[in-house]
Structure 1
């Protein structure tokens, strides 16, 4: 199926309605796909309509689209081919949002229209009906009877539905979290699936987004997705090819970088460490075009750019030609090519760090390299976990260096709380706690959600917040400098949980906003604590229970003097030195020292009975 050229949403909607009303079902399906493509490429920070559009106009637009989808799939001559199914599966979050934003307020009517009504009031659906209808149900709306049908689907149909649900960037209801947990517990059912090209991007997103679930075994789906990735690699001619291990004075280190653009969170988190590597390794950075900028090339000896659409076999061939002694993944979870390559063996030593702080769940990842004190909560990470001697500092964004904090706050009688977390991190537990804060606060609360939402998802999240909070602002995407100017006007920041923040908490500290965070028992729930410690903030701001979090927020709401004291601590602290410089001169080689130690001691480390070790220290037997 070729991508549509037309991008005028209103015009496409008019043509879609005309085709549906004239019962031109085949043309209607094609126009629907064009409309969805246009909506997915419309990146307006204020939804799919102009900012001046009223809630009624927004609702009417989505109702028109939902009505046409309903008419199409209920039509007796409704048919879609495999390519169209892939297209719809890859846009599942948008399909869900369309119905929930419409006057239907969900796809519930589709179940009644398509199913056979039983004497007991239940509905019976054929397998193909279960699949098609489930494309339009969010986890928050999915009823138990439809979930039961979903779990009976063959692997090739279950896979696109499951990855679509895990790709969904926003689960906001307790029922949605329960449904997500059910899928996690049945994820092995997808392992025999043979994915089509159309859902590879959704698989990539699902592999990453499972980390945002609120389930103790949430990463298990990665084991199942890894099985699918390995099958896909085999079909694409991509296979392991590893040169024999030979120690050398200057080993070749391949850095598979998912993101390495100046200003990106990956660059901010790892540039200081990457700078060290050239002293002891010949470094080659491999990155996809568009995800690395020229101003980061000088971190490496060589840069190998992968062109868009490059065949899998060619990626493997390029790595084999490099003959790396070590492969290092600064992150895993944001690109399909890294997930494929990481499931294979291309170097005698392979390691990752926690750029997207979640485990790879594959035996080909020998080591996870973590900061001091993180090993204790890294039981799922790598065959071995190695703690560095020191935590590398962050690389400052150019706008941070130029930014001067303005002390002017909002002056409307409300206390302004910043939620500086992307929409994937806004879990049902966290949002319920925000509702409780608003309900029990002695003074009016105004939330500022910096959710990085755009297009349809901006409209969807705004609708949810309109129903849950009295005063809120869903902040649109801005330049980094513009974002800091809004953030600094808030009184307190709340880090979402259970996933937590890292760079976002750096930002709140830099603009002197006291931050409350959640400290969990896994790396992705511990970094806020470490950043707050780095900034000199008290440990009680990082809480280990929901109730403790709530009480800490209420303490700050009720005690203006305490808030002022914390602000003054941040103001008087040399935050730029603490965040952006090494604490001691001997730490300036800790990153490269750790990777060299792993390289030199690989066999001994693998033979050790210990799972967590500290770089440079004696290796347990």
Structure 2
């Protein structure tokens, strides 16, 4: 089977055999269009491949696909138009996954064939102008080539910027070369974006991904790119006639809060962390949610007095029109960056008070955000935020277990769930692919090598299937030979697998929230690392709320390694921690609190926005 099914309303499905036939007969235009169709199918299916393929058949399918792509792009007769270039950059992550899932690893061999010599020697590109766009499309994040960004900018400024946006939008930046080049691009790109007058010719469909994914980098100035993205987005909005709203909202018995939702279904992490405060806020506010069609499920809709759906391609304009109709007192963003909706909207003034929360815990640099709401025990260095920081009580954000959640019951008298000393110790790593990086994987490898007992690392990676899983598994197991990378699975199966593990390690620098709920609810002790940003401090805050020992919270990679090895090597201590966790009710402490404090604090912020009032009550 070599066809990828399509929606019945769409054009015919992608056929690998047909694509190969077109490539080898040099029907370039038809082959390019069919390749784009195949990449779009992968994107729509989140990387899923044709059903029923065995492991060997899947590897064969992807190797054929990568080889055919290489043959197409190496053909001098195949040229990429500007429109095609933008489409390919938008879908570059899937080209990267196809090559990354095979022994090729990347497309550098195709680039070498294009150039006749390796590009970048002496700061000059050894490419014809016609091949420059093909080079950018094939220069995927795992490429080992040093991209001469300044030389590329001199040749074609928008191609250089577009390439950086596409690479920063990738969901897998795991190899040492990919991570190093991400840091380079985040230093280089803000200065170049500042020189562009508009977004023409750039892959704007993934601009929000580049905006958000900078949070997973290491440098202190990694968020600077957001300033220029926001400037260009606001400029486009104004050019499209979408301006700030100047009309004052009417006085109401309950002020109206319009909540911009990027993803909000019962299984989703944002629902798990933010639905309780929103439900409680209905006592004080008329609550309206707005989201893309399909982003809010039936359970999540019950949080709101009313939920409004938007549809592409003009969803942002629809949201602005809705705000003009409702005239809200407050616009609230539980997160900014997960979808193409919230990032542009955060650059407009649509209500007297506009707030963001740490659903994606990072600064926005958005002119339309008045304050960032942050739990008090997760705040490190407030200067990490461009916004005014308003702290919430540590027990304000009450977690909600997702459908299928089942905690492991306490078992008095049982010292350890896994007493067999002969089998390898199973270490759970719960993370999205975005949270994995070369530094964290190198630390895992050293832990596995230095522990006195054999270790297996079990990576449970959310929303990772098909070609994305195949590529990530190849990369992770190359870095950590003891790793097992699990494909996405139903939540109940995931919890059952966690129950078979002995401890967990949280990724760094971008840590976990719901992953801690899942692991601790199964009685697992673990190790985390803290830092100055909220996304580095959430883990430590949850560890302390759960009364886990301080030595499990590391301040640097050395402490992290020592704590992990200590936990692995000390079977009795690990069993005692499991007994303590289960005796304390697992993650139950995170399901309790005072979510009503959120509404009270927002009410006072609204009063402050209207006129001077005393400090916010605690």
Q: Distance in 2 between matches of 1:50 and 1:560?
A: 42
Query: Out of 400, 417, 435, which is 2:405 matched to?
Result: 400
Structure 2 residue 583 is matched with structure 1 residue 572: yes
**Following superposition of structure 1 onto structure 2, how do residues 196-215 of structure 1 map, counting pairs within 5 Å?**
199-215=203-219
**Following superposition of structure 1 onto structure 2, how do residues 160-199 of structure 1 map, counting pairs within 5 Å?**
160-188=162-190, 189-191=192-194, 192=196, 194-195=198-199, 199=203
Residue 423 of structure 1, CA deviation: 0.8
- CA distance 1:479–1:143, change in 2 (3 Å): same
Query: Out of 561, 569, 573, which is 1:562 matched to?
Result: 573
State the TM-score, normalized to the length of structure 2. Answer: 0.90
**Following superposition of structure 1 onto structure 2, how do residues 135-154 of structure 1 map, counting pairs within 5 Å?**
135-152=137-154, 154=156
Q: Is the 8 A contact 1:243 1:346 kept in 2?
A: no
Q: Distance in 2 between matches of 1:119 and 1:128?
A: 14
Q: What do the CA deviations read for 1:435-482 (whole angstroms, capped 9, x no partner)? A: 111221222111110112112111101112332333332112122111
Q: Is the 8 A contact 1:361 1:380 kept in 2?
A: no
Residue 214 of structure 1, CA deviation: 1.6
Q: Distance in 2 between matches of 1:198 and 1:128?
A: 18
CA-based RMSD of the aligned residues comes to: 2.9
Q: Distance in 2 between matches of 1:493 and 1:119?
A: 43
Q: What do the CA deviations read for 1:39-68 (whole angstroms, capped 9, x no partner)? A: 3344576x66856323xx555433322332
| Matching residue of 2:16 | 13
Q: Is the 8 A contact 2:357 2:373 kept in 1?
A: yes
| Matching residue of 1:370 | 374
Q: Is the 8 A contact 1:6 1:34 kept in 2?
A: no
Residue 160 of structure 1, CA deviation: 2.7
- CA distance 1:294–1:484, change in 2 (3 Å): same
Q: Is the 8 A contact 2:426 2:455 kept in 1?
A: yes
Q: Is the 8 A contact 2:376 2:391 kept in 1?
A: yes
Q: Distance in 1 between matches of 2:97 and 2:138?
A: 8
Q: Distance in 2 between matches of 1:38 and 1:261?
A: 23
Q: Is the 8 A contact 1:259 1:266 kept in 2?
A: yes
Gaps of 5+ in 2: 1-6
| Matching residue of 2:608 | 601
Q: Is the 8 A contact 1:330 1:353 kept in 2?
A: yes
| Matching residue of 1:125 | 127
Q: What do the CA deviations read for 1:214-249 (whole angstroms, capped 9, x no partner)? A: 221111111121122213323433221132377765
Q: Is the 8 A contact 2:530 2:539 kept in 1?
A: yes
Query: Out of 511, 515, 523, which is 1:512 matched to?
Result: 523
Q: Is the 8 A contact 2:363 2:387 kept in 1?
A: no
Structure 2 residue 515 is matched with structure 1 residue 482: no
| Matching residue of 1:611 | none
- CA distance 1:392–1:27, change in 2 (3 Å): closer
- CA distance 1:439–1:153, change in 2 (3 Å): farther
Residue 331 of structure 1, CA deviation: 0.9
Query: Out of 37, 40, 47, which is 1:37 matched to?
Result: 40
- CA distance 1:156–1:396, change in 2 (3 Å): same
| Matching residue of 1:62 | 62
Q: What do the CA deviations read for 1:8-47 (whole angstroms, capped 9, x no partner)? A: 5xxx2211222222222222222222332333344576x6
Q: Does the residue aligned with 1:114 lie in a helix, a strand or coil?
A: helix
Q: What do the CA deviations read for 1:51-105 (whole angstroms, capped 9, x no partner)? A: 6323xx5554333223322222232321233332222111111212323333434
Query: Out of 514, 531, 541, which is 1:503 matched to?
Result: 514
Query: Out of 328, 331, 335, which is 1:331 matched to?
Result: 335
State the TM-score, normalized to the length of structure 1. Answer: 0.89
- CA distance 1:449–1:138, change in 2 (3 Å): same
Residue 306 of structure 1, CA deviation: 1.7
Q: Distance in 1 between matches of 2:136 and 2:120?
A: 23
Q: Is the 8 A contact 1:127 1:149 kept in 2?
A: no
Q: What do the CA deviations read for 1:529-551 (whole angstroms, capped 9, x no partner)? A: 11111212112211110000000
| Matching residue of 1:250 | 254
Gaps of 5+ in 1: 609-613
- CA distance 1:153–1:218, change in 2 (3 Å): farther
